[in-house]
Amino acid sequence: MSKRVLTTESGAPVADNQNSATAGVGGPILLQDQHLLEKLARFNRERIPERVVHARGSGAYGYFEVTDDVTAYTKADFLGEVGKKTETFIRFSTVADSLGGADAVRDPRGFALKFYTEEGNYDLVGNNTPVFFIKDPIKFPDFIHSQKRDPFTGKQEADNVWDFWAHAPEATHQITWLMGDRGIPASYRHMNGYGSHTYQWTNEAGEAFFVKYHFKTNQGIRSLSAEQAAELVGKDANSHQTDLLQAIERGVNPSWTLYVQVMPAAEAAEYRFNPFDLTKVWPHSDYPLQRVGRLVLDRNPENVFAEVEQAAFSPNNFVPGIGPSPDKMLQGRLFAYADAHRYRLGVNHTLLPVNAPKATTAENYGRDGFMATRNGSRHDKNYEPNSYQGPAQTGAALSAPLAIHGWTGTHEAPAHTKDDDFFQAGELYRLMSEDERKRLIANIAGGLSQVSREDVIEKNLAHFAAADVEYGKRVAEAVRALRED
């Protein structure tokens, strides 16, 4: 069987792909060697800007199957019938490190899911923790800068990490999660996923509900100690990628069961703490988990760059029956995520196969721009309304409107009766066994003891003490012992 002919990008056959054209034998290379110049120029441009956060990631295709009737809460078509399946793509990631970072590190994990529904793509962007470090997006760039490599030393610095946290008491809950036993998942298959934010569901009658998503792993929770993680990184820095790839190739398809917590919209205003605060969870005793369906991953990407690196998830990609809430972090991300992809991938990134709708067709008047492949013909107009049968609006809102009132300005979030930055962190600590507490204390002290400023240490110790007196005392003793060594 003869091989296909190698060509240039313009389609011309390549005579020699082993030797550059030169001025005589052993002479200098000729500028007229178009094939050489094309290869070098393309090679120089193979990389695109990496994500500022969530740069290091892995992905897989699968499906979501509805197992329970939730039509009382949402009119979303892909959730409208028990047994219905929807194709999905998921991207797991670490948050703080660069594209070349290791997988088995103490860091939250991104859990970004794209549903290719018949009403358009629905993107659900979350983490493997139900809470986050901050509650207002204006602090997000500063937070990430504090966790990234220092401009002078070129590495993550404990002074920066803990100095920011010293000035962000609301981070205490997430710090307790991160420094606890689940801070380093053993693999992407062995961790839960959460929508983290509060979202809105709307049913056919127009009734609104606020929801939180919980994807519970069916493989069971497995995590690594700091010592186990360090050993694993030395053996395989790509451990989570290796595990996910090989499991699916073997036919061991990982799965998660989706549950939601549902709060009637009318209850939000009087709830004892702000239900849109990303640093807090809703107690299950108040809003029990209700099963929705099952997520299964059964196919690996054929090309990691094309399908994982270029995958674009935007939490503003909603479908009828699902919408945003007043969650300030979510509101910020509605802009920031899509804008990041326009910067990294270009304005036409939604036309890439991994990002394009699969169960329907995108119909709009977006035209031109870099790498445009959907420009229309002389029969297609690029404005609306028009008289030429172009796509038109439906007039039907995707979700229920959110009530607003008051004056514009840089307001703090409205205070509820029991709003507090520390109470839930203390509850989490008190739920831990003694062995879990010991590991948590050791993990926190290991980083905090490296901070050079005593005032920064004391501010952080005060946060842990505010969460739980014993918690604060034990961290303080462990930090002191390490600093005296």
> Annotated active-site positions, please?
54, 127
Residue 371 is given by DSSP the state T
Per-residue HEC secondary structure of 138-182 comes to: HHHHHHHHHHCCCCCCCCCCHHHHHHHHHCCHHHHHHHHHHHCHH
Which amino acid is residue 389, in one-letter code?
Answer: Q
Residue 4 is given by DSSP the state P
Cβ count within 10 A of residue 436: 14
Q: With 0-12 CB in 10 A as exposed, 13-18 as middle and 19+ as buried, what is 423? A: middle
Residue 6 is given by DSSP the state P
The answer to whether residues 91 and 305 touch, using CB atoms and an 8 Å cutoff, is no
The answer to whether residues 124 and 88 touch, using CB atoms and an 8 Å cutoff, is no
- The upper half-sphere exposure of residue 12, i.e. CA atoms within 13 Å in the direction of its Cβ, equals 8
Which amino acid is residue 285, in one-letter code?
Answer: S
First to last CA, the chain: 71
Phi first, then psi, for residue 271 (nearest 5°) are -65, 150
Contacts of the segment 467-472: beta carbons below 8 A, 24+ positions apart: 467/172, 467/173, 467/176, 467/422, 467/423, 467/425, 467/426, 467/429, 468/425, 468/426, 468/429, 468/430, 471/426, 471/429, 471/437
Name the E strands within 28-145.
Answer: 57-66, 85-94, 109-117, 120-127
DSSP-based three-state secondary structure for 457:
helix
CA distance linking residue 136 with residue 279, whole number of Å? 10
User: Which residue has 């991953």 as its token pair?
Assistant: 297
437 to each of 182, 433, 478, how far by Cα in Å?
A: 12, 6, 12
Which amino acid is residue 406, in one-letter code?
Answer: G
293 CB-near residues (< 8 Å, 6+ apart) = 64, 65, 66, 67, 68, 79, 257, 258
DSSP-based three-state secondary structure for 260:
strand
The answer to whether residues 104 and 247 touch, using CB atoms and an 8 Å cutoff, is no
